[in-house]
Structure 1
Amino acid sequence: MRSILSSVGAVAVCLVAGSAFANSTGITGRSGKQNGLSCTASGCHGGGSSTPTVTLEGPTALSAGQTGQYSLIITGGPGVKAGMNVAVDGATLTAGSGSKVVAGELTHSLPKGFTDGSARFDFSLVAPATNGTYKVFAAGNSVNDNKLETGDAHANATLEVVVTGGSDPAPIKEDDEGGCSAATSGAPAVLIAVFAALASRRRRQSRQG
């Protein structure tokens, strides 16, 4: 089994102003799929006094080729505006309202305002033709919208999706060398030596008889 969804991939949110203002229209590679890289780790956002809760909602099982509807929900934190980044290996992501696809990942088009304490980004995922477990990685940013990179906070979430009804993954080809084949490669020489010893013994016995 592979990880989707080994994973769906995750969306990291970078809502940036000032020197990083370009990221207010979205950024990829911050979902947590790429060696844990996040907005805070990349020097983008941080310093918020409270951390938001990020969750992924949607089906955890799909048939090959089926489209599932998912949502990334950011709750708490500074809670004025929100951004996100979602990524997954092997499956196809389709953007919903307020998001876009960039290099196969999802990110926000513009920072989305909070409503009743949370911000929601909807998207869809098309299951691949190969059976397996796919992991979706997501990151959400909750910012104070002060046009600076301070006072913001982010969190990550993952969701595994099991795909069935398609083709099985290609089996891993084992190394032809080693194992039993290597252990028995010297067998013919050993047998020849044994037969030669037996023949020599018989000749000696025949002379003595």
Structure 2
Amino acid sequence: MRSILSSVGAVAVCLVAGSAFANSTGISGRSGKQSVSCTASGCHGGGASTPTVTLEGPTALTAGQTGQYSLVITGGPGVKAGMNVATDGATLTAGSGTKLLNGELTHSLPKAFTSGSARFDFSLVAPATNGTYKVYAAGNSVNGNAESTGDSHANATLDVVVTGGKDPSPNEGDDEGGGCSAATTGAPAVLIAVFAALAARRRRRDTQG
């Protein structure tokens, strides 16, 4: 089974408004799918408290169906928020406050916290092939001090099971023409020809001797 949302298929966030280190209009490649965090990239860090990041939406879709999802960031410094989302096979569509960047979703501008949380909505179109797809998500909670310090981020993932489509091909990923399988199938015929040639050579030697 494929995985998608190995976090919602991925979400990454790097955000500090006005900072030279910040990505106030979004960034890709920080969802957790690539194992690179905002802290590791040097954009954000040092926050005294870590936010909670959750992905809300259906965990089962039929092939081609569109599901509505939300990335919710709660806690942390809690002044403004950013996000990044990626998947491993589904199609992502931006919602209010988000945009597509290099095939991933990210914030178009920092979003202010309301009542302790920030929400980013988006949609996901299930692929035509059955399987379990993972959504990868990262959410950043920042203090808005225009510096790369005092901010915190967290990650989340969500598995979405897709049914009603085509089953994965058992030979998916093989070389065209059967790859190793074709070579293996032809091997017995080659061996038989070699043994026949050796036997004929031995008979000639016996006759001549």
Q: Fold-level match, TM-score > 0.5?
A: yes
Match of 2:180 in 1: 175
Change (3 A) 1:103 1:155: same
Deviation at 1:39, TM superposition (A): 0.8
- Quote the offset at 1:193 in angstroms: 8.2
Residue 18 of structure 1, CA deviation: 2.4
Q: What is residue 29 of structure 2 aligned with on the other side?
A: 29
Q: Which entry has the higher C-alpha Rg, 1 or 2?
A: 1
**One-letter amino acid matched to 1:44:** C
Structure 1-normalised TM-score? 0.83
CA contact (8 A) 1:10 1:137 kept: yes
Quick one: which amino acid aligns to residue 30 of structure 1? Answer: R
| CA positional deviation for 1:20 | 2.6
Name the amino acid aligned to 1:31.
S
1:201 corresponds in structure 2 to none
Q: In the comparison of the two structures, how many residue pairs are matched?
A: 200
Amino acid at match of 1:19: A
Q: Does the CA contact (< 8 Å) of 1:8 and 1:89 recur in 2? A: no
- Alignment match, 2:13: 13
Distance in 2, matches of 1:138 and 1:155, equals 9
> Identity rate of aligned residues, in percent?
74
Q: Structure 1 stretch 168-177 or stretch 121-130: which is displaced more?
A: 168-177
Corresponding letter in the other structure for 2:88: D
State the Cα distance separating 1:83 from its structure 2 match: 0.5
1:28 touches 1:105 (CA, 8 Å); kept in 2? yes
Write the letter of the residue equivalent to 1:161: V
Q: Distance in 2 between matches of 1:9 and 1:90?
A: 7
**1:204 maps to what in 2?**
none
Q: Which amino acid is 1:142 matched to? A: S
CA distance in 2, matches of 1:139, 1:38: 8
Is 1:157 the equivalent of 2:162? no
SS of residue matched to 1:176: helix
Amino acid at match of 1:99: T
The residue correspondences of 1:100-119 to structure 2 (distance < 5 A) are 100-119=99-118
Distance 1:165 1:7, change over 3 A: farther
Deviation larger for 95-104 or 169-178: 169-178
Matched, 1:79 2:84: no
Is 2:49 the counterpart of 1:50?
yes
